[in-house]
């Protein structure tokens, strides 16, 4: 799939995965934000490339499953293409994309912050 | 003769503790490659310091129980390696009731998951303090070594118990479809639990937990993440299929590399679900099982 075809947030997928249940949507979105925030903190501290790729892989999986396609795809690129030289750039772009995710979530009626 | 009872709840390991212990001892006795010999019964979590302190139990088994068990022609020499509980046991036995254990400790090795936990999630300073405490009580020539966690190994004992073998040979019980999800990502795990809430579902977050769950749950379907930490989904698949050739496993993955697919199919997986998954994708496999 081309990047331009990706939705930033696939709300239909999110609705399907959550069964449209607002209470579950609140829980899962909070857990997602908490999980990815933790992973990004780990990514900030880690210099070992294999571990960085593993973290990117986890961000990718969680993001795609919940419907954040662009963050998922960006994390997938990081997983595939990350080398020591572009590690700071990937960190920054993942962090920025995640901030956009948070902003979008905060506009959702079901969202009430991270689970933690 | 006193039986080796284990008063500390230790899950499946409580079963057949005598056989397991005996087999472990025999195996270690034969292993000449080790610079030290180990009687490691480290089932008690490190957090159980207080109960161990109070009872003098080593993972729920006292030295006296070992002596009384009939497994040893003469009092065993205990070589300690491993976790906090084992080391505390040694120290306490020496200090509190004066039992002549006299373990020929060559070194104390913190290894495996507990070392990782101590280092990463507990207080590294405490670990260092504890090493100093050990050195105070042990002989001068005993070295304490904080080892790198060794390569993770899957303990497949739960898949070898007579109860499990019998259950596999006699087929699964009929009833609500049972699904074991093996997924370390909490978001994906929670989504799957929600999607599959109409079935009898359990979630394991590691290969080791999956072994333990599989042995007691005997699921009809395993949804297995390829990218598990420490022991990968593919490694778990191989182990599982060697113990239960009828296990129905569908791999979950965020990458669809040909090599991964080939390994999974070669390992006996019946299918693949690429992330992002949907209920429809999972439903396909559920229907196949239900139509059998």
Contact status, residue B37 vs residue B28, Cβ threshold 8 Å: yes
Is B30's pLDDT higher than 70? Answer: no
Contacts of residue B184 in chain A, CB cutoff 8 Å?
A: 58
Are the beta carbons of B185 and A61 separated by less than 8 Å?
A: yes
Is B192's pLDDT higher than 50? Answer: yes
**B140-178 confidence digits (pLDDT tens):** 444 444 444 445 677 776 787 767 777 888 877 668 899
**B219-276 confidence digits (pLDDT tens):** 999 999 998 888 889 999 999 999 899 999 999 987 777 888 888 889 999 999 988 8
Place of tokens 């899962």: A28
A108/chain B closest Cα distance in angstroms:
18
**A18-29 confidence digits (pLDDT tens):** 999 999 999 999
Contact status, residue B7 vs residue B211, Cβ threshold 8 Å: no
Rounded to whole angstroms, the Cα distance separating B292 from B283 reads 14
Q: Closest Cα to residue B90, out of B110, B108, B72? A: B108
Rounded to whole angstroms, the Cα distance separating B159 from B12 reads 10
Rounded to whole angstroms, the Cα distance separating B102 from B89 reads 12
Q: What is the CA radius of gyration of chain A?
A: 14
* A:B CB pairs within 8 Å: 62
Rounded to whole angstroms, the Cα distance separating A18 from A24 reads 6
* B49 Cβ contact list (under 8 Å, min separation 6): B84, B85, B88
B248/chain A closest Cα distance in angstroms:
23
Q: What is the pTM of this model?
A: 0.65
Contacts of residue B191 in chain A, CB cutoff 8 Å?
A: 17-18, 28, 65-66
Does residue B276 have a cis bond before it (omega within 30 degrees)? yes
**B204-219 confidence digits (pLDDT tens):** 998 988 988 898 889 9
Contact status, residue B224 vs residue B182, Cβ threshold 8 Å: yes
Interface subset of A 23-82, CB within 8 angstroms of B:
24, 27-28, 31-32, 35, 54, 57-58, 60-62, 64-67, 72, 76, 79
Decide the pairing of beta strands B221-225 and B178-182: parallel
Contacts of residue A65 in chain B, CB cutoff 8 Å?
A: 185, 187-188, 191, 275-277
Is A14's pLDDT higher than 90? Answer: yes
* B199 Cβ contact list (under 8 Å, min separation 6): B176, B177, B178, B179, B286
Measured between CA atoms, the residue of chain A closest to residue B279 is: A17
**B60-111 confidence digits (pLDDT tens):** 344 455 555 555 555 444 433 344 444 444 443 443 344 433 333 333 444 4
Q: What pLDDT, on the 0 to 100 scale, is given for residue B176?
A: 87
* A39-47 own/partner pairs: CB under 8 Å, 24+ apart: A40/A91, A40/A94, A40/A95, A40/A98, A43/A91, A43/A94, A44/A91, A47/A87
Contacts of residue A79 in chain B, CB cutoff 8 Å?
A: 255
- Give A71: exposed, middle or buried? Use CB within 10 Å, 0-12, 13-18, 19+: buried
> Which strand (E) or helix (H) includes residue B107?
strand B107-110
Average per-residue pLDDT for chain B: 63
**A58-111 confidence digits (pLDDT tens):** 999 999 999 999 999 999 999 999 999 999 999 999 999 999 999 999 998 888
A111/chain B closest Cα distance in angstroms:
15
Contacts of residue B226 in chain A, CB cutoff 8 Å?
A: none
């Amino acid at each position: 799939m081309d990047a331009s075809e990706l939705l930033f947030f696939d709300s239909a997928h999110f609705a399907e995965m959550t069964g449209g249940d607002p209470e579950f949507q609140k829980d899962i979105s909070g857990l997602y934000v908490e999980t990815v925030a933790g992973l990004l903190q780990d990514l900030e501290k880690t210099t070992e490339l294999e571990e960085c790729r593993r973290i990117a892989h986890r961000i990718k999986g969680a993001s795609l499953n919940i419907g954040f396609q662009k963050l998922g795809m960006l994390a997938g690129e990081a997983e595939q293409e990350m080398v020591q030289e572009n590690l700071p750039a990937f960190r920054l772009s993942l962090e920025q994309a995640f901030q956009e995710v948070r902003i979008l979530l905060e506009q959702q009626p079901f969202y009430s912050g991270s689970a933690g | 003769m006193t039986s080796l009872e284990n008063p500390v709840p230790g899950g499946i390991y409580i079963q057949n503790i005598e056989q397991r212990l005996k087999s472990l001892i025999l195996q270690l006795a034969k292993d000449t490659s080790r610079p030290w010999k180990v009687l490691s019964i480290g089932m008690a979590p490190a957090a159980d310091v207080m109960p161990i302190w109070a009872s003098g139990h080593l993972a729920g088994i006292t030295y006296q129980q070992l002596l009384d068990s009939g497994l040893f022609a003469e009092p065993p020499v205990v070589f300690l390696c491993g976790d906090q509980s084992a080391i505390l046991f040694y120290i306490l036995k020496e200090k509190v009731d004066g039992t002549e254990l006299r373990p020929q400790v060559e070194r104390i090795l913190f290894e495996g998951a507990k070392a990782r936990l101590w280092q990463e999630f507990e207080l590294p300073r405490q670990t260092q303090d504890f090493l100093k405490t050990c050195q105070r009580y042990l002989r001068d020539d005993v070295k304490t070594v904080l080892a790198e966690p060794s390569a993770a190994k899957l303990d497949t004992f739960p898949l070898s118990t007579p109860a499990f073998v019998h259950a596999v040979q006699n087929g699964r019980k009929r009833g609500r479809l049972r699904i074991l999800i093996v997924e370390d990502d909490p978001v994906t795990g929670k989504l799957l639990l929600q999607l599959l809430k109409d079935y009898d579902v359990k979630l394991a977050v590691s290969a080791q937990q999956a072994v333990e769950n599989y042995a007691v749950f005997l699921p009809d379907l395993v949804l297995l993440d390829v990218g598990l930490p420490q022991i990968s989904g593919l490694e778990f698949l191989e182990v599982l299929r060697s113990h239960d050739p009828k296990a129905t496993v569908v791999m979950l993955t965020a990458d669809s590399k040909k090599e991964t697919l080939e390994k999974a199919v070669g390992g006996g997986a019946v299918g693949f679900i690429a992330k992002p998954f949907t209920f429809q994708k999972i439903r396909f496999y559920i229907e196949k099982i239900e139509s059998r």
